[in-house]
Amino acid sequence: MAMSDQASSPSAGLTVSHLSLAFGGLKALSDVSFSVAPGSITAVIGPNGAGKTSLFNCISGFYRPSAGAIEFDGSDISKFHPPARAKIGLARTFQNIALFRGMTVLDNIKLGRHAHMRTNVFDALWYFGRARREELELRSEI
């Protein structure tokens, strides 16, 4: 994949600059740059094997690109591990559905919010105070 809707200057939103990724001799991403403004919707299209999933894997931190940078809301997140990216608000879904079997739809959705909750394990055990409050707020958002 080689996209170059040249990234604008770093700001709010997502900015991908000159991203490259290779698997051995296979270039999955070659100098990919684009930006996504807050509140906008951007689609990435391309044939099978074009590198779409590889791009999302780089943005969410599952793959480490060989070159380039990723900025989110003005911070360079290129070195952040996936949970740190989730904590600052980057979320993704998977091409092959990745749900927890045996958990309800509600619990699967709630799991995505987990990184943002302040309840610790002890609060949760007693389900009191902040734990209860956060749980009720979360359910009302869903």
Ligand X SMILES: Nc1ncnc2c1ncn2[C@@H]1O[C@H](COP(=O)(O)OP(=O)(O)OP(=O)(O)O)[C@@H](O)[C@H]1O
Catalog residues that contact Mg ion under the rule CB under 5 A. 52-53, 95
Q: Which of 2, 4, 12, 49 binds ligand X (CB under 6 A)?
A: 49
Q: Length of the chain, please? A: 142
User: How many other C-beta atoms can be found within 10 angstroms of the C-beta atom of residue 7?
Assistant: 20
User: How many other C-beta atoms can be found within 10 angstroms of the C-beta atom of residue 48?
Assistant: 5
Q: Which of 16, 51, 60, 86 binds ligand X (CB under 6 A)?
A: 51
By a kind-dependent CB cut-off of 5 to 8 A, residue 51 interacts, out of ligand X, Mg ion, none, with ligand X
Q: What is the DSSP letter of 69?
A: E
**61 binds ligand X, rule: CB under 6 A:** no
Cα dist from 75 to 13, 41, 82, 87, 88, whole Å: 10, 20, 15, 13, 10
CB of 53 to Mg ion, least distance (A): 3
Q: Which of residues 17-36 bind ligand X (CB under 6 A)?
A: 23, 26, 28
